[in-house]
Amino acid sequence: MRRWFLLAAVAAVVISGCASPAATPTPDAAATAAALAVTYVAETAAAAPSATPIPPTETPPPPPTATIPPTATATAPPPTPTIAPSMTPTADFLATHSRTLPPGKISRIRVINHSGQGVHLLFYTDNWFNEFTLGDETTIEVPVATVYFYGYLDSGKYISNVAYVTDDIHTWVVHIYPDSAIVETP
């Protein structure tokens, strides 16, 4: 039996030696290049310095705010005396201004009183003026010019404004309110 075993072993070695050699794999150039590229990128990323976090700095606390000690109870200031307004033109004004409209283009200003009280008004330009007390509404003729006006309500409130009257076709409108005078341009 030993013989048979030895003979079988020798035959197996001889037969296996006669077999064709094992095939060697063909290298894939694209796969090799891709593998190398991935390796290089990984090595480069590993070699890059990492961001070092900036350590936090201590912020000093704000300085204490000054505390104002409470004072005695505030009292209202004494009332100021009311001075009755005067609409009387001065002598200098009357020397350089006339109630008669100057020659040239004439336009209109419609004055509407929304204040619910009497209004004393003075309209004027560089050489003309017109003063009157207004009830509810009136329309006055004015020269085509820059027309200034001021006045007082019966309550003593002072109002003023200016109307830039630029033609003789339209009518400008002045609205008088308890606290203001608004010019409405056409």
The CATH number of domain 106-184 is 3.40.50.150: no
Number of residues that this document lists for the chain? 186
Report the range of poorest mean pLDDT among 84-88, 120-124, 128-132. 84-88
Q: Where are the domains of the chain?
A: 106-184
Cβ within 8 Å of residue 40, ≥6 positions away: none
In the chain, the percentage of residues whose pLDDT exceeds 90 is 18
Q: Is the pLDDT of residue 157 over 80?
A: yes
Tens-digit pLDDT profile for residues 12-46 = 766 666 655 555 666 676 667 666 666 766 676 66
CB 141 within 8 A of CB 99: no
